[in-house]
Amino acid sequence: MSMKKASYGEVRDRALPGDVIAFLGDNPLSKVIQAAGTAGVSHVGIILEAGTAAQEPRFAESSVHVDDKKPTYGVAESSFRLAVEGYDGAVWWLPLDAAQRATFDGQSFADFITGAIGGVFDIPGGVEIVMKGLEQKILGAQLPQVRLEIQKAYCCSALVANALKKARVVNVGDPGGASPSQVCSWRIYAPDYCLLKGDGQITGYNSTAP
């Protein structure tokens, strides 16, 4: 298994529904989320639709909104190109393995994602596991914002894990508790993955049974 470097243009027509897109932001809070996991990523999203001659591949991810100081999490759809070009940090494309692709339930996958777009997505309970050890004396005034960012990270991976379960790619008992690192480590991907932007590798890529 190896990482290859590629441009967005080189993978644009190869990206298919269910392929995972992993991110690591350049900001300090992304580094905290990175440190809380094992893969070296802070965020994940998923390809919703393949591209056509007239349209870029469609990309789905969780997003956070703060209203009256209370965060709510929803699912947003965008262009895969914009997701890559607009991100400050590293971006990787993790294509599904051919065997997984052969049994991929595209209808159930699409129904789940499209049904979630615009709706509120629950925050999973795994947040407190990540927060353990990040004490007030270490993070000080940043702790509330760090908590918000970690909740967002877990929300994004819960969306991806649930979508992959609906597509019959994984059969995890609690997809809502999956972290970005766990999603990247599942043995469901092609042997090679691609760095589209930035620097770094994904530790433990494609190495554990989901």
Residue 25: band (very low, low, confident or very high) from pLDDT cuts 50, 70, 90: confident
Q: What is the pLDDT of residue 178?
A: 84
| 22 pLDDT above the threshold of 80 | yes
pLDDT of 134-174, one tens digit each? 444 344 555 555 555 544 444 788 889 999 999 999 998 88
| 97 pLDDT above the threshold of 80 | yes
Q: What is the pLDDT of residue 189?
A: 98
Q: What is the pLDDT of residue 132?
A: 45
Q: Which amino acid, 30?
A: S
Q: What is the pLDDT of residue 103?
A: 95
Burial class (CB in 10 A: 0-12, 13-18, 19+), 55: exposed
Q: What is the pLDDT of residue 198?
A: 95
Q: What is the pLDDT of residue 135?
A: 42
Structural domains of the chain in order of their starting residue, each with its CATH number: 2-197 (3.90.1720.10)
Q: Which two tokens stand for residue 40?
A: 């070296």
Nearest to 210 by CA among 179, 194, 192, 195: 179
| Average pLDDT estimate for 3-9 | 97
Q: What does the alpha-carbon distance between residue 179 and residue 107 come to, in Å, rounded to a whole number?
A: 25
Residue 31: band (very low, low, confident or very high) from pLDDT cuts 50, 70, 90: low
With beta carbons less than 8 A apart as the criterion, state whether 45 and 158 touch.
no
| Average pLDDT estimate for 82-105 | 95
| Average pLDDT estimate for 102-117 | 92
pLDDT of 69-88, one tens digit each? 555 566 789 999 999 999 98
Q: Which amino acid, 133?
A: G
pLDDT of 166-192, one tens digit each? 999 999 888 877 888 899 999 999 999
Residue 54: band (very low, low, confident or very high) from pLDDT cuts 50, 70, 90: very high
